[in-house]
Amino acid sequence: MVQHFFMAEDIETQDLGNGMKRRVLAHSENIMIVEVAFEEGTVGNLHHHPHEQGTYVIEGEFEFEVAGKKQVLRAGDSAYREPNVPHGALCLKKGKLIDVFTPGREDFLEKSE
């Protein structure tokens, strides 16, 4: 059964440790929207995965690294990562991101349900 609506009060906040929290928002097997909050100085270690990923910076300031290139992004900026490309981020000023993945991240659902 397809879920069409995801109400904020029903969404669990996952404390990932080291100053990072995640909320899995709307999702299906084909797409997933995720809100991620960072404390200043939090490092999202370099990693890669088979999903395409887009990120929109809601607030704060981040130094992103994608495929060896670094770029500072602020509120209103966005980034794209193709599958299996190494990427990570350093939070320069406390902030919040929206990540969109395709296909959806099964591994995120296992941790939140």
- This model's pTM is above 0.85: yes
Residues sharing a CB contact under 8 Å with residue 13, sequence separation 6 or more, in sequence order: 21, 22, 23
Residues sharing a CB contact under 8 Å with residue 14, sequence separation 6 or more, in sequence order: 21, 22, 23, 24, 111, 112
CATH of 39-98 given 2.30.42.10, 2.60.120.10, 2.70.98.10, 3.40.250.10: 2.60.120.10
pLDDT digits (tens, 9 = 90+) for 22-65: 999 999 999 999 999 999 999 999 999 999 999 999 999 999 99
pLDDT band per the 50, 70, 90 thresholds, residue 110: confident
**How far is 12 from 16, CA to CA, in rounded Å?**
12
Mean pLDDT, to the nearest integer, of 7-20? Answer: 96
DSSP output for 53-70: EEEEEEEEEEEEEETTEE
